[in-house]
Structure 1
Amino acid sequence: MTGKLTTHVLDTAHGCPAAGLEIELWQIDPLQAASLIKTVTTNSDGRTDSPLLADTDLKVGIYELRFAVNAYFKSKVSELPDPPFLEVVPIRFGIADVSAHYHVPLLCSPWSYSTYRGS
């Protein structure tokens, strides 16, 4: 079994998937600068069209997903504070088992967010 990394974003302010939200995936190396691996945009279901990492691309290490929530909510909500309460939501996590499925969902509004390790 090969592992993979996936995500899903839910807009809790509107009760729907967060379609069109930009996500950056970074690899974090404590001895070097962080490295941008890829930038993706969620589809109509609030998911990416393919896993963020899979097979041999999934390696043991520390990663960070950066969700551009302010840009997403600016397209949905007519009045938001300037500067916004949340601009980018970073979620830093570790991958220890490359044969496992790591699912990192984000539930968010312009004022709050939560995450967990999903399946």
Structure 2
Amino acid sequence: MSFSTHVLDAVTGRPAAGVRVRLEHEGEIVAEGITDDDGRIKGWDPGEGVHRVVFDTGMYLPETFYPEVVITFTVTDPAQHYHVPLLLSPYAYSTYRGS
């Protein structure tokens, strides 16, 4: 099983490079990193259960209404890949289960 994310800047229409991201499970940090030039992080292995992926959006957009975005999701099938993208702007964000 693997986890990846992709952060896109809705204002510029470009990948959001340099966003600090961490993955938590049961209150513990299991992985952390910074999005690459394409706005991606990949290759994390969170394991089964409920997880939180936390994006430090205030670092990327200093004048944002949302200085942190937290997405909670459940890993039910360890054989699957879990992709959680984030579309970001200063006053809104959206996400979905990617592939």
Q: TM-score, normalised by structure 1?
A: 0.79
SS in 1 for 2:59: helix
Match of 2:18 in 1: 20
Q: What's the CA shift for 1:52? A: 1.8
Tell me whether 1:111 sits opposite 2:99 in the alignment.
no
Query: 4+ residue stretches of structure 1 with deviation over 4 A?
Result: none
Structure 1: which amino acid aligns with 2:71? I
* Residues 1:89 and 2:69 aligned together: yes
Amino acid of the structure 2 residue aligned with 1:68: D
Deviation at 1:70, TM superposition (A): 1.1
The one-letter amino acid paired with 1:25 is L
Displacement after TM superposition at 1:62 (Å)? 0.5
Partner of 1:31: none
Number of paired residues? 99
**Structure 2, unpaired ranges of 5+:** none
Superposed CA offset, 1:37-64 (max 9, x none): 121000000002x4122xxxx4210000
CA–CA separation in structure 1 for the residues paired with 2:39 and 2:30: 20
State the alpha-carbon separation in 1 of the partners of residues 19 and 65 from structure 2: 17
CA distance in structure 1 between the partners assigned to 2:20 and 2:89 by the alignment: 15
Higher fraction of strand: 2
TM normalised by structure 2 equals: 0.94
Highest CA radius of gyration, 1 or 2?
Answer: 1
Cα shift at 1:108:
0.5
Write the mapping of 1:66-105 to structure 2, written as runs, cut at 5 A. Answer: 66-74=54-62, 80=63, 84-105=64-85
